[in-house]
Amino acid sequence: MQFRIINTIIILLLAAGLVLAFFELASFIYVLAFIVFYIFFLLIVATNVRFNFFVKSFSENRKIKENHIAITFDDGPVENTLEVLKVLDKYNAKAGFFCIGERIEKYPEIFKEIIQKDHLVGNHTYTHTRKMGALSVSRIIWEIEECNRIAEETAGIKLKLFRPPFGIVSPKTQKALERTGLKSVGWSIRSFDAVVSSEEIILNRIKKRIKPGAVILLHDNNAKTVNILEQLLLFLKNNHYEVVRPDKLLEINAYS
Ligand SMILES: [Zn+2]
């Protein structure tokens, strides 16, 4: 709603600018520059869930006083998830796993093991399509509901938290979340573990951004994650940080 009003005002201003430019009362260059800037702005807010522009997301807890931090994993469950769970156990850390519905169907036992070990599980759509930004409201609702259906059939729980694939959000995502009643969970530290190959670069990027209340994004379907996680947990332990479940850190309910 907020976006619709802002968007309408900007489009009216642009139309007025084009009319003025047509009668040579304003410069076409300025109007064009404004259009380019606006498109750029929309791209930034549509691909950065933490800006809360289209969708209100829980991406960190700035009010937290203790040295608490949360780690989240996207795109599982896969076989590698079991290795990730072992490392978390070793450091007695509780994390969040945003799971893809199709993979829950493929690895139901791993999905159940995550829950058994008292980690959080959340919805990461059914297919994790790359076309997320182009989907209709009804298709986004289907993606969310299918993932929730398979999670409930597998483990008897109703997922309440949603992580948008690729962090891509739009006014349509907001509508789909309102209709399904799920809440969006983002992150404050993006590790880029899916695109950067050097473990050292990824780890240093995370370490530099660590602060109380932060939410870290990793991927449990990535072979590098196990090593990165072990070093990260060691670093956090040495710096007196406690890794807590994301729902506890963000003070929200994980299930309904
Ligand atoms: Zn993902």
User: How many Å lie between the centroid of ligand 1 and the Cα of residue 143?
Assistant: 13
pLDDT at residue 176 greater than cutoff 60: yes
User: How many Å lie between the centroid of ligand 1 and the Cα of residue 233?
Assistant: 22
**Can you give the residue range of the structural domain that contains 15?**
2-47
> Among 12-21, 104-113, 206-215, which stretch is predicted with the lowest mean pLDDT?
12-21
Same domain, 21 and 112: no
Same domain, 39 and 99: no
Residue labelled with tokens 């968007």:
7
| CB-based neighbours (< 5 A) of ligand 1, an ion | 74-75, 165
Provide the token pair at 208: 């530099």
pLDDT at residue 241 greater than cutoff 90: yes
Same domain, 168 and 126: yes
Residue 256 lies in a domain: no
Residue 216 lies in a domain: yes
Same domain, 13 and 140: no
pLDDT at residue 1 greater than cutoff 60: no
Residue 52 lies in a domain: no
User: How many Å lie between the centroid of ligand 1 and the Cα of residue 165?
Assistant: 4
pLDDT digits (tens, 9 = 90+) for 129-146: 999 889 999 999 999 999
Same domain, 208 and 127: yes
User: How many Å lie between the centroid of ligand 1 and the Cα of residue 22?
Assistant: 46
Same domain, 61 and 155: yes
The mean per-residue pLDDT over the stretch 43-53 comes to 82
Same domain, 41 and 128: no
User: How many Å lie between the centroid of ligand 1 and the Cα of residue 129?
Assistant: 9
The mean per-residue pLDDT over the stretch 31-42 comes to 87
pLDDT at residue 113 greater than cutoff 90: yes
CATH number where 131 lies = 3.20.20.370
Residue labelled with tokens 């969006």:
184
Q: Please give the pLDDT value at position 227.
A: 95
- Alpha-carbon distance 72 to 85, whole Å? 12
User: How many Å lie between the centroid of ligand 1 and the Cα of residue 133?
Assistant: 13
User: How many Å lie between the centroid of ligand 1 and the Cα of residue 124?
Assistant: 7
Q: Tell me which residue of 54, 56, 55 sits closest to 7, measured CA to CA.
A: 54
User: How many Å lie between the centroid of ligand 1 and the Cα of residue 8?
Assistant: 32
Residue 179 lies in a domain: yes
- Alpha-carbon distance 123 to 149, whole Å? 10
Residue 237 lies in a domain: yes
- Alpha-carbon distance 252 to 70, whole Å? 13
- Alpha-carbon distance 248 to 120, whole Å? 10
Domain count, the chain: 2
User: How many Å lie between the centroid of ligand 1 and the Cα of residue 78?
Assistant: 13
- Alpha-carbon distance 178 to 15, whole Å? 32
